[in-house]
């Protein structure tokens, strides 16, 4: 009889767990299907935003423009790239950019500062869903961002390079247990075997090298390759400041001007964009609001949705040298991962004329898998006004352990804490199929009418570039550049292969030229069909197919 009662208790416990998990899952789906609303006032203070750009802080026209050729909603890196490309191709455009809060104070001003893609981790999944050629093209697009963003900063000038702190580093995916390392190595070998040209600059770092070069005594190995680090807010505000000066008669940037509603008048083929400060009429609206897009585009609810992430700025642990000019780190755990860049080392001149080197802040984020219900509680959360205490605990305590800071006393390791200077949250825009959504939005998705006639030089209708799934620095700039060119009339060939004249380039896997090689063409020098993944283009069919349960399954797997 005792065995029977024991079995019943076990069964009851199992049933309880199942129902609890179902309740968690149902709660997530409810949030995904709801409107994210507008960005909340009084968000947490991000280190990147201190101080805000003097040229853009609380920028507003005395009177809101009543008409525009194009209205762009959102002011992060995506909008910055859209504006830059639009004005490169057509300097006469009248554009109004609307932002609910401060310029570039959303996810772009709150992220980790990485230009980094994990191609080996993504390749098997992408190949399974889209095929090997499409997977290669998507990864090449993402990896190419490092070169393209470096070139953007170079074109903007030395002041932009200095302000943005943009630099190339060795990106390191660091492992701390054999099972996770083995899983990563299997995928890495598959990717390197099938795309050797793409992976030729990537390698494996053994335990001893990780210990000595990365100062990670408990690491058992790492996968390493080219990556970048930067101050995203300052890159964008440097570019926006130039654009607002150079195009002062045509460009209007309106901060603290949330868009409350959009309506369409078929008789005039014009949209009315209703804001807190008045209305603007325009034939062309571009949504660059990422996590908040479904507030104004209801057909994208459960397709693009918010996800709360957490970041911190910390002093380097005691004894850890400044390595921000050399490396960036991802700490790969059995569940989830963390990401770390370090600001460049600075030199301080002392009173006696000598110089003291000061290690830059550790810009450390992650802790997602440590949050409530194994990370499920932050999915669908559009709140960046408060911290998640579980993520805060994780981020506040990990660095001294992985870097081995501290002293030995009688054989007992004592870990010195680090000073957390700032900690903040940000809202990422996740995509149900884990790919960005780029292009002209069908009327069935906006739930509004759409112009039937084409514009002269500028495509009428509503457009978007959203849903970067936490990988904005290797998606946003290319998606935005492509969207600007779509708005101005260039088309994307939706057939992924067998397009006359581009088969060879379509399968090109080099990301950049090495010494003695022919240069790899930049996006500016190629047609969209040659470099932009057609899988990113928004369509009714893709929207109907995208299932948020697939994303939840993907997140549980990482």
Q: Report pLDDT digits (tens) over 31-41.
A: 999 999 999 99
Q: Look at the alpha carbons of 519, 525, 527, 533 in this order and tell me if their dihedral is positive or negative.
A: positive
> Which DSSP string do the residues of 467-481 spell out, in sequence order?
--TT-GGGTHHHHHH
The pair of structure tokens assigned to 264 is 């369409």
Provide the pLDDT for residue 24.
81
Provide the pLDDT for residue 504.
40
Of 233-237, 516-520, 547-551, give the lowest mean pLDDT range: 547-551
Provide the pLDDT for residue 494.
59
Q: What is the pLDDT of residues 66-79, one digit of tens each?
A: 999 999 999 999 99
Provide the pLDDT for residue 498.
44
pLDDT at 6 over 70: no
Provide the pLDDT for residue 248.
94
Q: How confident is the model at residue 349 (pLDDT cuts 50, 70, 90)?
A: low
Identify how many contiguous H helices and E strands the chain contains and give both numbers: 16, 22
Q: What is the pLDDT of residues 273-304, one digit of tens each?
A: 999 999 999 999 999 999 999 999 999 999 99
pLDDT at 407 over 80: no
The pair of structure tokens assigned to 328 is 């960036």
Phi, psi of 404 (to 5 degrees): 70, 30
Q: What are the residue ranges of helices labelled H in 367-435?
A: 389-402
Q: What is the pLDDT of residues 99-157, one digit of tens each?
A: 999 999 999 999 999 999 999 999 999 999 999 999 999 999 999 999 999 999 999 99
Of 149-153, 441-445, 452-456, 543-547, give the lowest mean pLDDT range: 452-456
162-166 average pLDDT score: 97
Nearest to 149 by CA among 473, 535, 432, 524: 473
Decide if 258 contacts 275 (C-beta within 8 A).
yes
The pair of structure tokens assigned to 8 is 């019943």
DSSP 8-class letter at 28: H
Q: What is the pLDDT of residues 178-187, one digit of tens each?
A: 999 999 999 9
pLDDT at 88 over 90: yes
Provide the pLDDT for residue 15.
46
292 or 409, which is more confident? 292
pLDDT averaged over every residue in the chain: 91
Helix (H, G, I), strand (E, B) or coil at 81: helix
Other Cβ atoms less than 10 A from the Cβ of 106: the count is 28
Phi, psi of 83 (to 5 degrees): -60, -45
pLDDT at 170 over 80: yes
Provide the pLDDT for residue 446.
97
Q: What is the pLDDT of residues 18-33, one digit of tens each?
A: 545 778 888 888 999 9
Provide the pLDDT for residue 503.
41
Q: How confident is the model at residue 411 (pLDDT cuts 50, 70, 90)?
A: low
84-111 average pLDDT score: 98
Q: List, in order of start, the domains of the chain with CATH numbers.
A: 121-127+168-226+307-429 (3.30.9.10)
> Which DSSP string do the residues of 190-249 spell out, in sequence order?
HHHHH-TTTTTT-EEE-HHHHHHHS--TT--EEEEEEEEE--HHHHHHHHHHHHHHHTTT
Measured CA to CA, the distance from residue 544 to residue 29 in angstroms comes to 16
pLDDT at 408 over 70: no
CA distances from 453 to 90, 95, 339, 456, 457 (A): 21, 20, 47, 9, 12
88 or 505, which is more confident? 88
Locus of tokens 């994208």: 300
Provide the pLDDT for residue 181.
97
Measured CA to CA, the distance from residue 293 to residue 313 in angstroms comes to 29
Q: Is the peptide bond before 62 cis (omega within 30 degrees of 0)?
A: no
Alpha carbons within 13 A on the beta-carbon side of 454: 7
Buried b / exposed e over 63-78, threshold 16 CB at 10 Å, is ebbeebbbbbbbbbbb
Helix (H, G, I), strand (E, B) or coil at 416: coil
The pair of structure tokens assigned to 438 is 């780029």
Residue 107 burial class via C-beta count within 10 angstroms: exposed 0-12, middle 13-18, buried 19 and up:
buried
pLDDT at 521 over 70: yes
| Confidence (pTM) | 0.93
Provide the pLDDT for residue 258.
98
Instruction: Label the pairing between strands 251-254 and 167-175.
Output: unpaired
Distance of CA 109 to the CA centre of its chain: 11
Q: How confident is the model at residue 203 (pLDDT cuts 50, 70, 90)?
A: very high
């Amino acid at each position: 009889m005792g065995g029977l009662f024991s079995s019943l208790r076990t069964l009851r416990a199992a049933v309880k767990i199942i129902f609890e998990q179902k309740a968690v899952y149902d709660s997530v789906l409810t949030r995904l299907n709801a409107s994210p609303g507008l960005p909340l006032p009084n968000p947490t203070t991000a280190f990147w935003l201190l101080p805000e750009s003097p040229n853009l802080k609380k920028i507003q026209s005395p009177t809101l423009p009543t008409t525009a050729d194009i209205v762009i909603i959102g002011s992060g890196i995506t909008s910055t790239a859209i504006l830059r490309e639009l004005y490169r191709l057509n300097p006469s455009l009248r554009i109004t950019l609307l932002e609910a809060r401060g310029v570039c104070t959303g996810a772009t001003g709150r992220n980790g500062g990485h230009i980094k893609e994990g191609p080996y981790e993504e390749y098997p999944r992408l190949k399974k869903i889209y095929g090997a050629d499409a997977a290669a093209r998507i990864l090449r697009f993402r990896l190419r961002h490092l070169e393209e963003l470096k070139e953007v900063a170079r074109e903007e000038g030395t002041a932009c390079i200095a302000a943005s702190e943009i630099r190339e580093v060795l990106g390191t995916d660091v492992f701390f247990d054999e099972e996770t390392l083995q899983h990563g190595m299997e995928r890495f070998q598959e990717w390197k075997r099938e795309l050797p040209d793409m992976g030729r600059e990537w390698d494996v770092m053994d335990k001893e090298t990780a210990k000595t070069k990365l100062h990670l005594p408990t690491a058992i190995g790492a996968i390493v390759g080219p990556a970048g680090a930067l101050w995203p807010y300052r890159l964008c505000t440097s570019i926006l400041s130039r654009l607002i000066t150079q195009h002062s008669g045509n460009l209007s940037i309106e901060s603290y001007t949330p868009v409350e509603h959009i309506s369409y008048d078929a008789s005039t083929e014009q949209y009315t964009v209703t804001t807190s400060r008045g209305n603007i009429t325009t034939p062309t609206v571009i949504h660059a609001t990422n996590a908040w897009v479904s507030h104004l585009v209801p057909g994208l609810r459960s397709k693009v949705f918010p996800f709360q992430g957490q970041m911190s700025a910390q002093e380097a642990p005691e004894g850890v040298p400044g390595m921000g000019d050399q490396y960036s780190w991802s700490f790969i755990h059995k569940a989830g991962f963390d990401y770390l860049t370090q600001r460049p080392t600075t030199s301080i001149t002392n009173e006696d004329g000598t110089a003291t080197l000061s290690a830059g802040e550790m810009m450390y984020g992650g802790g997602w898998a440590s949050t409530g219900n194994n990370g499920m509680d932050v999915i669908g959360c559009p709140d960046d006004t408060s911290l998640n205490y579980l993520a805060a605990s994780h981020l506040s305590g990990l660095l001294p352990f992985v870097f081995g800071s501290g002293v030995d006393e009688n054989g007992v390791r004592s870990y010195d804490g680090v000073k957390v200077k700032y900690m903040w949250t940000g809202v990422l825009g996740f995509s149900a199929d884990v790919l960005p959504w780029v292009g002209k939005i069908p009327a069935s998705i906006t739930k509004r009418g759409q112009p039937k006639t084409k514009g002269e030089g500028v495509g009428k209708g509503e457009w978007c570039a959203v849903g970067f799934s936490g990988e904005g620095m290797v998606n946003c700039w290319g998606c935005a550049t492509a969207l600007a060119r779509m708005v101005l009339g260039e088309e994307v060939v939706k057939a992924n292969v067998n397009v006359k004249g581009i088969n060879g380039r379509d399968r090109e896997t080099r990301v950049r030229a090495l010494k003695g090689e022919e240069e790899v063409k930049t996006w500016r020098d190629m047609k969209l069909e040659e470099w932009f993944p057609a899988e990113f283009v928004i369509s009714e069919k893709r929207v109907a197919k995208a299932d948020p349960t697939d994303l939840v399954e993907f997140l549980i797997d990482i």
